[in-house]
Structure formats: structure tokens, C-alpha cells
């Protein structure tokens, strides 16, 4: 290590060690996290779908940022660490965007996933018999199946 690099390293070390937060800083962060957890838990009790999704996943993202910034100290860490994390998150997004059309839908212009459709219907038939309330989307899917599985294009390829 050159003299300059050693000086820079020593400076960086000192810089990092300056950031010794009081214990109260961490306790406050924990308290915020607990309040957010309570909100995300209470959200579904209102029975409104968008409120449930917002309180569940919106708050999960906020909690994630809080833990990363204040507990994992990404807010005072070298930017390189955030970049490393970002690369992994981008790869995750790439995977999702590439695969999701084939998984989230059971049919496309030239294909039908018969097995996935059949599984959906079989489950609904079995669990519907228990008297459980089906949500609108499930009922719609069941109805589509009963009327011939929806319009299939000519030459549709079965998977």
C-alpha cells in the first residue's frame, strides 16, 4: 500500500468510526419499525384491497429502507456497498420481467397453459365445496372455464 493510500485508508477508518450513534437512535428506529408493523398488520382488517396492499407492501419497503439505512448503516457506508446491493436487486427485476408473462398469465396469443388452468379450477371446485368465500377474480376465472376456458386463438399451442 502506498503512503497516500495508507493515509486515505486511515482517514476513511477515522471517518467511519466517527459515526457512533447513541443507543437512543437505534431504539427510536426500532420504535418506528414497530409502529409501521402495527399499521401493516391492521391494514387488512379494513377489508379494502388497495389499503391492504399499500399497508402491507408499501410499509414493507419503508421498513426495508429503515433497516438498511439505520441498522446496516448503508446511509454512511461507502457508495460501493449500495451499488453491490443495487446490482442484485436489478438482476431480480430482470428475472421478474423476463419470466412473469409466462407465469402470471395462463394463456397468450399462441399458447395455453392447460395444466395451470386445470389446477386453478380443480382447487376452486375443491375448496369452494367447503363453503369458503371466493374472491371476484377467482369466480371470474371459474366462470370463464365453465364457458369453454375463454376464447382461444386458432392454432393455439398447448403446453
List interacting residues with another protein (CB under 8 A): 1, 5, 8-9, 12-13, 17, 20-21, 23, 26-27, 29-30, 33-34, 37, 40-41, 43-44, 52-53, 56-57, 59-60, 63-64, 67-68, 70-73, 77-78, 80-81, 84-85, 87-89, 91-92, 95-96, 99-100, 103-106, 116, 119-120, 123-124, 127, 132, 134-135, 137-138, 141
Closest CB to another protein among 20 and 151? 20
Give Cβ neighbours of residue 48 (< 8 Å, ≥ 6 apart): none
Shortest CB 11 distance to another protein, Å: 9
Shortest CB 116 distance to another protein, Å: 7
Note whether 107 and 113 are within 8 A (CB): yes
What count of other Cβ atoms lies within 10 Å of the Cβ of residue 8?
Answer: 12
**Cα–Cα distance measured from residue 150 to residue 65, given in angstroms and rounded to the nearest whole number:** 43
**Cα–Cα distance measured from residue 25 to residue 123, given in angstroms and rounded to the nearest whole number:** 49
Amino acid at each position: 500500500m502506498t503512503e497516500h493510500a495508507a493515509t486515505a485508508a486511515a482517514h476513511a477508518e477515522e471517518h467511519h468510526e466517527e459515526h457512533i450513534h447513541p443507543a437512543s437512535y437505534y431504539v427510536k428506529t426500532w420504535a418506528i419499525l414497530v409502529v409501521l408493523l402495527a399499521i401493516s398488520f391492521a391494514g387488512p382488517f379494513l377489508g379494502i384491497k388497495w389499503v391492504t396492499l399499500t399497508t402491507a407492501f408499501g410499509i414493507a419497503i419503508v421498513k426495508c429502507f429503515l433497516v438498511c439505512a439505520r441498522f446496516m448503516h448503508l446511509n454512511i457506508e461507502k457508495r460501493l456497498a449500495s451499488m453491490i446491493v443495487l446490482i442484485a436487486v436489478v438482476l431480480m427485476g430482470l428475472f421478474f420481467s423476463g419470466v412473469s408473462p409466462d407465469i402470471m398469465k395462463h394463456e397468450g396469443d399462441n399458447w395455453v397453459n392447460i395444466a395451470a388452468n386445470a389446477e386453478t379450477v380443480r382447487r376452486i371446485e375443491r375448496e369452494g365445496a367447503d363453503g369458503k368465500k371466493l374472491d371476484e377474480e377467482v369466480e371470474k376465472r371459474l366462470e370463464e372455464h365453465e364457458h369453454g376456458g375463454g376464447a382461444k386463438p386458432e392454432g393455439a399451442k398447448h403446453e
